[in-house]
Amino acid sequence: MINDRVIPDRVIRTVLPAEVADVVALHARARATYYPDGVPQDGTDWSASWRTALTRPDGRVLCVVEAGRIVGLASFRTPEDAAADTVKLFQFHVDPGHWRAGVGTALHAACVEEWRADGRRTAVLDVHVDNLRAQGFYRRQGWVPEPVDPGAHHLRMRLALAGE
């Protein structure tokens, strides 16, 4: 498990439960960028979902803090239907005003470092099929897409962690 990690002008650390409103706001800003017709209103209580993610004993939520503000976040844990050496990246968001500034790359590197330290061999994620920017980012980090079913809303991607 990583401790607070300092990068010039940035800190990568665990999100605190008191920061849930900031997390929800960043999540909403990031999601709004890849839904061409607007973010679907599916009734999800994102405050409750993020509070659950922040307090799960089997999960972690890391964030990048810059100038006292959360500008990136990643939520991960072992999925229920996977082997113990697999981790799933459930949420990964960078504030759109901080894209292409190294925030996502630094956060991703911190996640991979923690996963490897925890003995994980594989990471998986699902990314929205319309989120081509995120798919490109993940490919640059070494993630490989799996075949997608026609009409699917998400693309499954996999990252090999062992032996590197």
**Count: domains in the chain:** 1
The pLDDT of 68-93, averaged and rounded, is 92
Beta strand pairing status for 122-128 and 86-94? Answer: parallel
Would you state the pLDDT for residue 64? 96
Q: What is the 3-state secondary structure (H, E, C) of the chain?
A: CCCCEEECCEEEEECCHHHHHHHHHHHHHHHCCCCCCCCCCCCCCHHHHHHHHHHCCCEEEEEEEECCEEEEEEEEECCCCCCCCEEEEEEEEECHHHCCCCHHHHHHHHHHHHHHHCCCCEEEEEEECCCHHHHHHHHHCCCEECCCCCCCCEEEEEEECCCC
Model pLDDT for residues 15-31, shown as the tens digit of each residue: 999 999 999 999 988 88
Q: In whole angstroms, how far apart are CA 71 and each of 92, 119, 160?
A: 11, 28, 27
CATH of the domain at 26: 3.40.630.30
Give the confidence band of 1 by pLDDT, cuts at 50, 70, 90. Answer: very low
Q: Is the pLDDT of residue 147 over 50?
A: yes
Band (pLDDT 50/70/90 cuts) for residue 157 is very high
Distance between first and last Cα of the chain: 18
Residue range(s) defining the domain that contains residue 79: 5-160
- Quote the pLDDT of residue 163: 60
pTM of structure: 0.88
